[in-house]
Structure 1
Amino acid sequence: MNEATGAPFEAPALLKGQHLADEVADQLESMLSAGNYDGVKSLLEPVQPVDIAEAIGRLPLILQALAFRLLAKNEAIEVYEYLDPGVQQSLLDRLRSGEVLEIVEQMSPDDRVRLFDELPAKVVRRLLAELSPEERRVTAQMLGYQAETAGRLMTNECIDLKEFHSAAQALTIVRRQAPFTETIYSLYVTDRERHLTGILSLRDLVTADPEALIGDVMTKDVVNVRTDTDQEEVARAIQRYDFLALPVVDSEKRLVGIVTVDDVIDVIEQEATRDLYAAGAVQAGDEDDYFQSNLFVVARRRVVWLFVLVLANGLTTKVIAMNDEVLKQVVLLAAFIPLLIGTGGNVGAQSSTVVIRGLSTQRIQNLGLLRAVIREAIAGALLGLLMLCFVVPFAWWQGQGPLVGAAVGISLLAITTLAATAGAALPLLFDRMGLDPALMSAPFITTATDVAGVFIYLRTASWLLHHINTL
């Protein structure tokens, strides 16, 4: 609704996502403050649920519940599933218990489980007790699976057919169950004990002879995952096969649910965020939004690795102190220490980034782990040779002789080769040990290249100085 003209709100064709949510939120706040509730309903009518959810999340707390109550029942449930966990919890506190129960009852099981993961245990127990017996059973079953597995990610809202159904009977079943299922484009076939036996697409079903049996038109080779499969593996499988959904089976190969592509997109974003935080040696919360987190919590998560790095880099200080004689004789050598250890750290970070990404996408296995390390070592050597062309002449000129230039050149080549090798090998080692390669590699590579780089540089300079003096 346009506030000036009273005309219904129409989002411009190019106004999408962030900008649309901003404009809707501004108009929502203005209308709610003025008590124009009919205008709010007209405003939100053409807007997509995800944009409504974002707009409500931008409102002051006192107006969020009011805006949410003005939504139609079916739309409110869909909008609620898109809200941030903090806004969901706030609405649960502000809505009447009957409204809360109705929303939670109607949510899809996977979204309900994600909500329960964010709520205090006491609240979860109360809501579980008030759910209908069937929804309580399904929710309790999914909560029983380990976090970040297919069992916690899936929904049980899927259509399963029987091999003895005719295509016409199957179409009738699909029409009847479609309003209550997550997707109808992939249809699964099970036997009397719900063992997964086949799959067919909606296209295959529609184009099949009405009298044909499902067992004759289905595909028997079904790609599936188990309930305990890690969510990253689930995401890779859906990405690999371009599926809209992937069936989930239990240990006895009974169909228990499906994971849909929209849930996988959330997983990919979550895992990518964790890897980025880990690459910066930042301990991230599982679902926390950094920009909404308490600053003391943010500082606590960052300071852990900073303390580790400070202690580890004490080794660098020790190495410099052990070689102070050569620095006393040629003070200019100290000026190139930051250049060398900085280069080593950057080369190591580049190699570790490539290898960690290869581990994440599983493409590094195609090349071979040893070949990947050798490849990065050679790349590090080539980088060192290229940098020699620029650094050595400058160091020679600054040092007014061959000593500094030769020490810098030899050390630079050795450091870039070592850093690239360590950057490739350490993530593979940590992955083999069952540790997070993204989190563990950053501090260890930085420390290893700093200590080794300074040691190589100063020992090389000491050796050169000794031989020059003996000539």
Structure 2
Amino acid sequence: MTSRDFEPNLPPELTESPTSGQSDYPEWLKDQLHDLIQHQDFEAAKMLLEPAQPADIAEAIEQLPAPLQVLAFRLLSKTEAIEVYEYFSPSMQQQLIGDFRQPEVLGVIDGMSPDDRARLFDELPAKVVRQVLHELTPAEREATSRLLGYPPDTAGRIMTPEYVALQESQTVAQALEHIRRCAEQAETIAYLYIMDGQRRLTGILSLRELVIASPDRLIGDVMTRNVVYAHTDTDQEEVARLIQRYDFLALPIVDQEQRLVGIVTVDDVLDVMEAETTEDIYALGGVEAVEDGYFQTNLFTVARKRVIWLMVLLLANTLTSSVIRSQEAVLEQVVVLAAFIPLLIDAGGNVGAQSSTVVIRGLSTDDRQMKQFSWVIRREVTAGLLLGAMLAVVVFVWATVLQGNAMVAIAVGISLFAISILASFAGSALPYVFHSLGLDPALMSAPFITTAVDVLGVWIYLNAARIILGIDG
């Protein structure tokens, strides 16, 4: 079948097609691309991809059936392929490496930014990394090896060595000419970095400041000497906080001798923040983060990563059972008390989860108020007291309506009041404890808060009921 037999609705001809950037555009692009490749109309497929953004092309190709993904990717020019490849998921990148002949994949990988290439190599088997590294050009091999030599999750690992450097002795006109020559290889030219003869970072200059300065002025006279920077061993989360705090587009990275070795750009920081936020959200639910995305991971791996904390919580809940068994005398005399146990521990768990979420988020964002830990705990306990009072009134009325026993309703109300205070204290204090021990507060807090609220909550409830109802035993 020729292109005359099959006439696709290409963007210039399809007035009702979605615009690039809209949420349904990648789906539309995928459908059109699928039909064109199926009918072997490769020229029309190339025309379809030309005006699309790399991120949209990557998403569309990933949604194609596996046999068509390689064909679609090969339709791209080398420059387009490099940009699109960087947007693929790690699993898709590995798959394409396996599907391509060696010269084809090397052309794409050699053209990637060193930081993106290092991120890709982190996901690949060591044998493949060694093979690909050996085939790279000497300059790219050296740049990538240097980044891979830094510890994971540090500024050195996510930085790029592609930046524009200037000298204080250069004039503005000389600097502009230098930028014209090397801007093509730089990650960004929004900021220009000034170094001395030993490559030590001495200042910074924005492109805007350079353009509006007189051509004959020296760089040393117009640059800013008070530079915000990070070291190669700085944690990537701290780098993200610095860029967010100062609204930078890039942050210079120096080694222990203050020599400029690279920059971290805001697009890399966004990836870091997304990954760290995802990890924290998973941790709050007791789920270990996965590399390729939750829904791209096989179910056996998912189950293995989720079962660990479920087993911990299962064992912890045996303590609750032990408390209930020790109070069988109370439950035997007033059986209706057992009906309110789930209500109390669930309400306490919710209050504790709210407090822990607030504190963990503050610790993650390095909120200045979080340094006043005693003030934060007092604030959350006070909030728990107010919440407990309001919930106690509601549950007292509800228990009275359901059971018609005012004394049981009082026991339930008082217990919920006390449990809310306990849950607020546990939810705010435990994250601080684990943070001070160097443990992940998001991962560690949930099971321990649940255990504390369940065990102590049931103990408070049954003992309060024993006293209020005058039960012996």
User: If the TM-score is normalised by the length of the shorter chain, which range does it land in?
Assistant: over 0.9
Deviations 1:261-314 (A, max 9, x none): 0111111111111111001011112x2211111101111111111111010000
Contact 2:408–2:465, Cα closer than 8 Å, also in 1? yes
Equivalent in the alignment of 2:192: 187
Contact 2:78–2:107, Cα closer than 8 Å, also in 1? no
Equivalent in the alignment of 2:331: 327
Deviations 1:414-438 (A, max 9, x none): 1000100100000111111100000
Secondary structure at the counterpart of residue 24 of structure 2: helix
Report the Cα offset of residue 402 of structure 1.
3.4
Report the Cα offset of residue 8 of structure 1.
3.9
Report the Cα offset of residue 323 of structure 1.
0.5
Is 1:246 the equivalent of 2:251?
Answer: yes
| Letter of the structure 2 residue corresponding to residue 231 of structure 1 | Q
Is 1:9 the equivalent of 2:14?
Answer: no
Is 1:355 the equivalent of 2:397?
Answer: no
Secondary structure at the counterpart of residue 199 of structure 1: strand
Report the Cα offset of residue 15 of structure 1.
5.5
Corresponding residue to 2:450 among 435, 442, 446:
446
Provide the TM-score with structure 2 as the length reference.
0.96
Cα distance in structure 2, aligned partners of 1:192 and 1:243: 26
Secondary structure at the counterpart of residue 438 of structure 2: coil
| Letter of the structure 1 residue corresponding to residue 360 of structure 2 | I
Contact 1:411–1:456, Cα closer than 8 Å, also in 2? yes
Contact 2:154–2:235, Cα closer than 8 Å, also in 1? yes
Unaligned runs of 5+ in 2: none
Deviations 1:316-353 (A, max 9, x none): 00000001101111111111111110110000000000
Is 1:388 the equivalent of 2:392?
Answer: yes
Equivalent in the alignment of 2:315: 311
Provide the TM-score with structure 1 as the length reference.
0.96
Aligned pairs for 1:149-188 (under 5 A) are: 149-188=154-193
Contact 2:89–2:292, Cα closer than 8 Å, also in 1? no
Secondary structure at the counterpart of residue 209 of structure 1: coil
Is 1:408 the equivalent of 2:405?
Answer: no
Cα distance in structure 1, aligned partners of 2:247 and 2:375: 30
Corresponding residue to 2:120 among 108, 115, 123:
115
Rate the CA distance shift 1:6–1:331 in 2: closer, same or farther, 3 A.
Answer: closer
Corresponding residue to 1:365 among 347, 366, 369:
369
Is 1:70 the equivalent of 2:72?
Answer: no
Report the Cα offset of residue 36 of structure 1.
0.4
Report the Cα offset of residue 355 of structure 1.
0.5
Secondary structure at the counterpart of residue 252 of structure 2: strand
Report the Cα offset of residue 50 of structure 1.
1.0
Equivalent in the alignment of 1:94: 99
Deviations 1:350-392 (A, max 9, x none): 0000001111111253661110000000000100111122111
| Letter of the structure 2 residue corresponding to residue 281 of structure 1 | G
Report the Cα offset of residue 27 of structure 1.
1.2
Is 1:126 the equivalent of 2:136?
Answer: no
| Letter of the structure 1 residue corresponding to residue 11 of structure 2 | F
Contact 2:330–2:466, Cα closer than 8 Å, also in 1? yes
Contact 1:355–1:364, Cα closer than 8 Å, also in 2? no
| Letter of the structure 1 residue corresponding to residue 293 of structure 2 | D
Deviates more, 1:139-148 or 1:67-76: 67-76
Equivalent in the alignment of 2:424: 420
**Identity across aligned pairs (percent)?**
57
Report the Cα offset of residue 209 of structure 1.
1.1
Report the Cα offset of residue 138 of structure 1.
1.0
Contact 2:18–2:25, Cα closer than 8 Å, also in 1? no
Contact 2:134–2:141, Cα closer than 8 Å, also in 1? yes
Deviations 1:178-212 (A, max 9, x none): 11111001010001111000001001111111111
Equivalent in the alignment of 1:219: 224
Cα distance in structure 1, aligned partners of 2:398 and 2:255: 66
Secondary structure at the counterpart of residue 378 of structure 1: helix
Rate the CA distance shift 1:6–1:298 in 2: closer, same or farther, 3 A.
Answer: closer
Rate the CA distance shift 1:94–1:74 in 2: closer, same or farther, 3 A.
Answer: same
Cα distance in structure 1, aligned partners of 2:75 and 2:142: 31
Equivalent in the alignment of 2:211: 206
Report the Cα offset of residue 399 of structure 1.
4.2
Aligned pairs for 1:6-45 (under 5 A) are: 8-10=10-12, 12=17, 14=19, 16-45=21-50
Considering only aligned residues, what root-mean-square deviation do their CA atoms show, in Å? Answer: 1.8
Aligned length: 468
Secondary structure at the counterpart of residue 187 of structure 1: strand
